[in-house]
Amino acid sequence: MTQLYLWPANLTDMVGSLLIIIFSFLSLRYAYLLTKNQPDNFLWGFLFYFCMTLAAFAISRAMGHLVKQVLLISGNREQWQALAPLAGGFNTLLMTSLAAVTIYYHKGIEGFKAIEKKAGSLKSTNRELQETAAQLHTMNMNLEEMVEDRTKELSASEKKFRNFFVNSKDMVYFCDASNQLVNMNASGLEMLGYSFEDPPSLNLLDMFLSEDDLDTYYEDILRMGFIEDREVDFVKADGSVIHILLAATAIFDEAGDFTGCEGIAKDLTRVKTMMAQLASSEKMASIGQMAAGVAHEINTPLGVILGYSQLLKDDFPEGTEEGESLQVIERQTKACRKIVADLLKFSRQAESRRENISLNEMLTDVLAVTEHSLNMDHINVYRNLSESLCSIVGDTEKLRQVFINFINNAHHAMEENEGGNLYVSTRNSDDKKFVIATIRDNGHGIPDEIKGSIFDPFFTTKPVGKGTGLGLSVSYGIVQEHEGTIEVESPIEEQEAGEKGPGTAFHVILPAVCEEGHSVTS
């Protein structure tokens, strides 16, 4: 009865043992296929060995149960009891192995993930290396072309800078931290009067007229890094001074240390001179307008005084005290009228007559009038009148007054020397657009401090009663009215042989009317 009751359990045990063997080998086969498909996959390899251990354990466990049931059914219990310890030990060993494999599964997975991460990093690095290698390969293939293009760009940039440096009409210079000039273009050397073929070693200290200006320049460069539109005076090689408009920029190295500066300078000397002349012209124009108004206001009462003094002279015989007083009144009134006439000439209020004039003939007439008084004071007159001199257009009487004024001034300048030489010359300009007449003496000359004031009205160095200070002012106005200019040279750079003293030369430059084949002789 007991045997019949245990039969279903034994049958179930045997069937289960067979199923364990079948399923374990199916798992082993599936793991094998996965490993074969992806041999580098750590997870499939681990699963394959796990299934092998599981299959071994299944065979050991299932076979133990099957052998047990077969031996028990066949009545060989003693044999089973002899095999039971061996089967149990073997099952225990395989179960321990399976447990060990299962326990270290998570460690294996972590290791696999770490390895996979490292492998991914290596793959990424390898991919980047491949991309870099491809870029290097591309650059290497195009390196020559890239270098050629870059060289062309640098060459074009250098050419632009070089053209600016060489062709600029302004001074362009570079200097180091000690203000020593490193380089300067030809225009700058020419501006300073030095030779480009043999450039000197210059420091900014040699160029600045004022050390204070240089100190201010250096301080502003260090403080602000630049200066702009700074007006300073430079000294040329011959010691003369030029007025400069300066702009400069500081140069710093990568560490931020000052290494020097670069600058551009424009010569404003002519502009400054022209501005001074313009201011002088405006001043002269204003004074002329004032003089004209004053002259007209004074002229009428002077005429009345002169008329009444002449009438009163008829009532008093000559030699009486009253008659002599009236003569003084008449004489001084005429002197006042002459001053008024000079004021009117200065203001150019008198009418002008325009006609063709031979300057040589005019100067000959002027010398005929003045030469006698010059000879009386031992002043020799030398003429050098061009035979091919062009004619001019203007008012003969006004221009004659100009040259009489210049000759009289030369006469007074040589009186202190008890004689001298007066040179009167004429010539055409090189382009024959102007006629130049020069009145030159070897007198005491004009001091530099008053040279800029000699054409101002009422300015004179003569003692009281010797001059009104209107002669040169009137001459200046007349020459300007004729669209000409007056240049003053004192001292004279080129003296005649044996000449002494600084001397003075007035050059009157007037527009010429010169037709082809036309010739004027003195």
Sheet holding 241-252, edge to edge: 181-184, 171-176, 258-267, 241-252, 226-235
What tokens does 182 get?
């490193």
**Beta carbons of 510 and 484 less than 8 angstroms apart:** yes
> Is the peptide bond between 511 and the residue preceding it cis, with omega within 30 degrees of 0?
no
Nearest to 181 by CA among 238, 266, 267, 261: 261
Q: What is the pTM of this model?
A: 0.40
CATH entry, 273-346, from 1.10.10, 1.10.287, 3.30.70, 2.20.25: 1.10.287
**Beta carbons of 387 and 519 less than 8 angstroms apart:** yes
In 355-419, which ranges are continuous DSSP H helix?
359-376, 396-415
In angstroms, rounded to a whole number, what is the distance separating the alpha carbons of residues 455 and 445? 15
Domain ranges, ordered by start, for the chain: 2-103, 168-267, 273-346, 355-511
**Measured distance between the N- and C-terminal CA atoms of the chain, rounded to whole angstroms:** 179
Per-residue pLDDT of the chain (522 residues; tens, 9 = 90+): 444 455 666 677 667 777 777 877 787 788 788 878 877 776 777 777 777 777 777 776 666 666 666 666 666 666 666 666 666 666 666 667 666 666 666 666 676 677 777 777 888 888 888 888 888 777 777 776 777 777 777 766 666 666 666 677 788 888 888 888 888 888 888 888 887 777 778 888 888 888 888 888 888 888 888 888 888 888 888 888 888 888 888 888 888 888 888 888 888 877 777 776 666 666 666 666 666 666 666 767 877 787 778 878 877 877 788 878 888 888 888 777 777 776 666 555 455 677 888 999 989 888 887 887 888 888 888 999 988 899 999 888 888 888 888 888 888 888 777 778 889 999 998 888 899 999 998 887 877 777 666 766 665 655 544 555 566 777 887 888 888 988 888 777 665 545 555 788 889 999 998 764 343 333
Please report the pLDDT score of residue 461 as a whole number: 58
**Beta carbons of 64 and 87 less than 8 angstroms apart:** yes
CATH fourth-level superfamily of 355-511: Histidine kinase-like ATPase, C-terminal domain (3.30.565.10)
One DSSP character per residue, 83-125 reads HHHHHHHHHHHHHHHHHHHHHTHHHHHHHHHHHHHHHHHHHHH
Please report the pLDDT score of residue 190 as a whole number: 83
Sheet holding 434-441, edge to edge: 379-384, 420-428, 434-441, 504-511, 485-489
Going by their DSSP bridges, the two strands 420-428 and 379-384 should be labelled as parallel
Task: Give the burial class of 14: count Cβ atoms within 10 A of its Cβ; 0-12 exposed, 13-18 middle, 19 or more buried.
Answer: middle
In angstroms, rounded to a whole number, what is the distance separating the alpha carbons of residues 271 and 354? 33
Between helix 321-346 and helix 471-481 the angle, nearest 10°, is 40
Between helix 105-167 and helix 77-103 the angle, nearest 10°, is 20
Please report the pLDDT score of residue 438 as a whole number: 92
In angstroms, rounded to a whole number, what is the distance separating the alpha carbons of residues 486 and 454? 12
- Go through the chain and tell me how many residues it has: 522
Residues pairing with 260 in the sheet: 176, 251
Q: How far is CA 277 from the centre of its chain?
A: 29
Residues pairing with 383 in the sheet: 424
Q: What is the assigned CATH class of domain 168-267?
A: alpha beta
Please report the pLDDT score of residue 86 as a whole number: 64
Please report the pLDDT score of residue 517 as a whole number: 38
